[in-house]
Structure 1
């Protein structure tokens, strides 16, 4: 939704950048050391590959060595080089235990490059050829994910259902349920999505997945303009603690509830709920709520927005004194 894409750059992005610039010295040094170690490994396998190519007596590398070099290349996003080694395993060691991992690695590299159709084909290959391995199970799941990435929501949902039927206790049954919901929603089949929302909430009751499914219903209601049910869905979500793994927050749920109330013409209720969302320097939805209050054609709402913005400004001014002098002025300037 466009209204959720407003970015509070002056309060969050620039402010955070200044703080990182001021205090990230130790982190930068640690990251530099780790990067140097990674670069050394990459340079080492590149030198080994060059030496192998120029050698007059080219010996065939063991499958394990191909897998080792591929792992280093893929960690450095050298996708084509990684695929060369995985393909060597596929071509030369068809009965090796590393065969499923090599096929899955090729598929994953295409996926990371956003070459989703090529990825899907390789995922299907490992899923069909090695269904009893972890790579086979993952291939079945990610074949569906590739379809979803390509915008083929109906096909993705159907492929996820195949995964669930084959692996009812697989490692990704929870996300598969949620992705079926997304597939039907994105392909314009809200009723099918609602059926799977209800199934997901029942199967994963008491878990973060149940909350994620409830949040999916809230977003679906917003997209459909079903303001009454959106308020109901938000109320159901706020009755339970929202774990971090649910990929939402109480502030976001309250914001969407207030938005639904506003669109339903319940202005005073919307003002009340917007005002419940605390606003501070690191609160994304608090800032959005303040902006919505300021934009309302209601004197009381506008005054609340002024008070909230003033409180945030005061907290920034107090915090600025704790930062090194070279950054203090920037902190205050960027917060305006």
Structure 2
């Protein structure tokens, strides 16, 4: 057992030195998915764009009600408008049409990531996980593939599988040591290991994290995670 007073003193010293605000790393992956509400004229513009794209879709369907082939850019534009307005099923319809009509396009990974994130936001976690797994399997060398591996951990955590989620974060750290989410992956593996009851492994990862990100907000959050293990 470490000296609690020494740990608290170290934590306060880091906070004062860095002048940073502690965040909850366990929620960072999920929070990054949220579409923040907007107000006033921006919301009105979004509503207008949504109504406009729905009218366009009404005239962009065949006799079987399937979406007709639009340009790649137009499918993605409409999908993003739907996603922004949390019209997830309609967004997925355009992403799927894009993939079906343009399977060799370079932005297919982007469409798959959008599908996975839309499932995750609507709490359809198993479908999100399946989509993210496909993204990692087929496009693991892309930025979207890296995002897919990171978000697959979030899906597993929401499915009540923190141990499996921790293993996914470990995979991300191992495969993508310079990945865009490498700092939050370190913090998330600590919290998911703690939630999974793997406290000793969490402590080990706290050490790794503090060493790699010494003197940064990530260092402070890792020390805070150590405090949470002690109380």
TM (norm. structure 1) is 0.55
Q: Specify which of 196, 204, 220 is matched with residue 213 of structure 2.
A: 204
- Which residue matches 1:114? 123
Using the TM superposition, give the Cα deviation of residue 59 of structure 1 relative to its aligned residue in structure 2, in angstroms.
4.9
Q: Specify which of 39, 48, 51 is matched with residue 31 of structure 1.
A: 39
- Which residue matches 1:71? 80
Which protein has the bigger helix share? 1
- Which residue matches 2:228? 219
User: What's the secondary structure of 2:39's corresponding residue?
Assistant: helix
Q: Specify which of 138, 148, 161 is matched with residue 170 of structure 2.
A: 161
Distance 2:101 2:173 in 1: 33
- Which residue matches 2:136? 127
User: What's the secondary structure of 2:180's corresponding residue?
Assistant: coil
Contact between 1:89 and 1:98, CA under 8 Å: does it hold in 2? no
Distance 1:188 1:59 in 2: 51
- Which residue matches 2:70? 61
Distance 1:158 1:201 in 2: 20
CA RMSD of aligned residues (A): 1.7
Distance 1:73 1:121 in 2: 22
Runs of 4+ in 1 over 3 A off after TM superposition: none
User: What's the secondary structure of 1:110's corresponding residue?
Assistant: helix
- Which residue matches 1:96? 105
Contact between 1:64 and 1:98, CA under 8 Å: does it hold in 2? no
Distance 1:32 1:183 in 2: 38
Gaps of 5+ in 1: 1-29, 223-336
Using the TM superposition, give the Cα deviation of residue 153 of structure 1 relative to its aligned residue in structure 2, in angstroms.
1.2
Give the number of aligned pairs.
Answer: 192
Distance 1:184 1:32 in 2: 42
- Which residue matches 2:54? 46
Higher relative contact order (CA 8 A, sep 6+): 2
Contact between 1:104 and 1:135, CA under 8 Å: does it hold in 2? yes
Gaps of 5+ in 2: 1-37
Distance 2:130 2:207 in 1: 32
Contact between 1:70 and 1:83, CA under 8 Å: does it hold in 2? yes
In structure 2, relative to structure 1, the CA distance for the partners of 1:106 and 1:59 (3 Å cut) is closer
Q: Specify which of 173, 178, 200 is matched with residue 187 of structure 2.
A: 178
User: What's the secondary structure of 1:53's corresponding residue?
Assistant: coil
Using the TM superposition, give the Cα deviation of residue 114 of structure 1 relative to its aligned residue in structure 2, in angstroms.
1.4
In structure 2, relative to structure 1, the CA distance for the partners of 1:153 and 1:70 (3 Å cut) is same
1:140-196 superposed Cα distances (whole Å, 9 cap, x missing partner): 111112112222111111111111111011011111111111111001111111111
Q: Specify which of 190, 194, 201 is matched with residue 192 of structure 1.
A: 201
Distance 2:150 2:183 in 1: 11
Q: Which of the two has higher C-alpha Rg?
A: 1
Contact between 2:146 and 2:176, CA under 8 Å: does it hold in 1? yes
Contact between 2:186 and 2:209, CA under 8 Å: does it hold in 1? yes
